Chains A and B, each alone.
Chain A
């Protein structure tokens, strides 16, 4: 592979759009960018690539209530906290809805009561918004639990145990959804890891270890991980856990701590 020995500022456009430049490089490139319409176009185009890459982020869907929460948060910004935010932008937000509503209210109740009425309306809206947010948060939590339960008990999901020589503790339960090639992992009684270290999950495919996620247990020794991708091609015989550097390893560097077969007995 060739190395960028004669790197030009233009060469940094892709990395800049990805946010992958160092702070110093970013500063230098932004100075260059101001005077280069061509580089500005390139950065804009690479940002489109970023938007497209986002599509491959995850299959997970947000809870159905999220849209309402998004819109209700807009309410929170329109009423009464909106004015300072609008004033801070280069182009002032006209705020026609707020202006029309305020004018209507003042006309209806008279200037004397207008202020009090508006305060009451504002308070009520804030209260409704708060309650709605609480409701949506609870709905989100329940939806998350439902999704987790579905991942654990869905058709085609199989449970495998990863243990140390068959001992019940510590252990990891691996729920493998073969249809989706995803797994959910729940571990318990795991020992705390040393500083700079983490557990790493491995899938043994065609006899070779394939690196998967790294993780650390919480203070009680539990860990719960979702949306773990399972290698799709080849024959999976087992899954194992080793202790690795925090950033993970490409190959195991320490003895296997937990292991379990991934074949139906």
Chain B
């Protein structure tokens, strides 16, 4: 369980405290230790396709969420998720836990494929449509996820933490990071789009990400040994 405490109104970014209550996450003393993500990848690398099914249960929704946000259509987002897991299956033997978590690796694949799809189809309008859209701030997080209810809760808790952390950023910092992450824009492109100096955008991205890192360290997905 993650405790989230925001001080001040959400529209006014202020100091936030994010802490995780130990012992109440999915791995409890009474339940068997779940297979780690890196173990699942190792099994996939050994040809065990069920391991990919298990990874889908854990991260399929996460990949779909980012893909949908980028491509804006269900069918395309599902195609991105399919391609991403297929790529992960092919490249499982190349996964290096020292370079980050399985979740980070899968997300990078999905985001990259989604951006490639948008670019390939020349659907710039789709990009700007999602870029210009304001972010939902009161909708239930991951409400539709059914594969593993405990994971749904865990993802929802993490997501709430991320939303609070994002609210702690200044709106220009948040905007710059979202344009980079969801729209695949380079810092130069962001500067051009927002008609701001490149140095300003670089500072916003760097400081914003540093702040997110500071707040979100307790919420990282599983890391390798």
Interface residues of chain A, those whose CB is within 8 Å of chain B, are: 1-5, 7, 11, 14-15, 17-22, 40, 44-64, 66-67, 69-71, 73-75, 77-78, 85-86, 89-98, 140-141, 143-144, 147, 180-182, 198, 200, 210-216, 225-233, 246-248
Of listed A1, A45, A182, A231, residue having the most chain B CB within 10 A: A1
Name the contact of B110 in the complex, choosing from A15, A54, A141 (C-beta under 8 A): A54
User: Provided the pairs A46-B213, A71-B53, A75-B49 are in contact, do residues A54 and B128 lie with their beta carbons within 8 angstroms?
Assistant: no
Residues of B within 8 A of A75 (CB): 49
A213 contact from B85, B133, B146, Cβ within 8 A? B133
Query: Is the pair B140, A59 in contact by a Cβ cutoff of 8 Å?
Result: yes
Q: Which residue of A lies closest to B130 (CB)?
A: A213
Q: Nearest Cβ in chain A — how far from B178, in angstroms?
A: 8
How many Å lie between the Cα of A74 and that of B85 in the bound state?
A: 8
Pairwise interchain contact B158-A55, C-beta atoms closer than 8 A: yes
Are A93's CB and B45's CB within 8 A? yes
Q: Which of B85, B181, B200, B202 contacts A7 (CB 8 A)?
A: B202
Q: State which of B48, B82, B140, B190 has its C-beta within 8 Å of the C-beta of A70.
A: B82
List the B side residues contacting A213 at CB < 8 Å: 128-130, 132-133
Question: When A50-B108, A91-B45 are in contact, do A4 and B129 touch as well, CB less than 8 Å?
Answer: no
CB pair B181–A53 under 8 Å, yes or no, is yes
User: Which 3 residue pairs are nearest across A and B when measured between Cβ atoms?
Assistant: A61-B144, A57-B65, A14-B209
Subset of 25 A-B contacts with CB under 8 Å: A4-B199, A4-B206, A18-B205, A18-B209, A47-B104, A47-B105, A47-B107, A55-B162, A57-B65, A59-B142, A60-B144, A62-B60, A66-B78, A66-B81, A69-B78, A70-B56, A91-B94, A140-B74, A141-B75, A180-B139, A212-B132, A214-B132, A227-B133, A229-B136, A231-B134
Q: Are B146 and A210 in contact (CB under 8 A)?
A: no
The answer, among A53, A70, A228, for a CB contact under 8 Å with B162, is A53
When chains A and B are docked, how far (Å) is the Cα of A62 from the Cα of B91?
A: 24
Question: Which residues of A are found within 8 Å of B137, using beta-carbon distances?
Answer: 232
Which residue of A is nearest B74, CB measured? A144
Contacting residue for B64 out of A18, A66, A232, CB 8 A: A66
A44 cross-chain contacts in B, Cβ below 8 A: 98-100, 104
- The chain B residues found within 8 Å of chain A, CB to CB, are 11, 45-50, 52-53, 56-57, 60-70, 72, 74-75, 77-78, 81-82, 85-86, 89-94, 98-101, 103-108, 110-112, 115, 124-125, 128-147, 155, 158-159, 161-163, 166, 177, 180-182, 184-188, 190, 193, 197, 199-200, 202-206, 208-210, 212-213, 216, 219-221, 223
Q: Are B47 and A57 in contact (CB under 8 A)?
A: no
- CB neighbours (8 Å) of A2 from chain B are 203
A-B contact count (CB 8 A): 299
**Judging by beta carbons under 8 Å apart, are B143 and A59 in contact?**
yes
Decide yes or no: A50 and B104 within 8 Å by CB, A20-B187, A92-B93, A231-B134 being known contacts: yes
Residues of A contacting B: mostly: mixed
Contacts of B11 in A (CB 8 A): 233
Chain A residues in 8 Å Cβ range of B68: 57-58, 60, 227
Partner of A55, one of B62, B72, B203: B62
* Residues in B whose Cβ lies below 8 Å from that of A19: 111-112, 115, 180, 184, 186
A71/B49 contact (C-beta < 8 A), A59-B144, A60-B77 known = yes
Give the docked Cα–Cα distance between A61 and B63 (Å): 10
Contacts of B115 in A (CB 8 A): 19
- Tell whether, in the assembled complex, residue A22 and residue B138 are in contact, meaning their CB atoms are under 8 Å apart: no
Residues of B within 8 A of A97 (CB): 47-49
Q: Cβ of B60 and Cβ of A90 under 8 Å apart?
A: no
- Which of B101, B133, B134 is in CB contact (< 8 Å) with A51? B101
In the complex the two chains form, is B65's CB within 8 Å of A58's CB? Answer: yes
- Whose C-beta in chain B lies nearest to the C-beta of A86? B93
- Tell me, in angstroms, the Cα distance from A5 to B200 when the chains sit together: 10
Q: Which of A57, A78, A94 contacts B182 (CB 8 A)?
A: A57
CA distance A44 to B213 in the complex (A): 11
Q: Which residues of B contact A22 (CB under 8 A)?
A: 186-188
B78 contacts which chain A residues (CB < 8 A)? Answer: 62-63, 66, 69, 140
Which residues from A are CB-within-8-Å of B57? 67
Write the nearest CB–CB distance from A239 to chain B, whole angstroms. Answer: 13
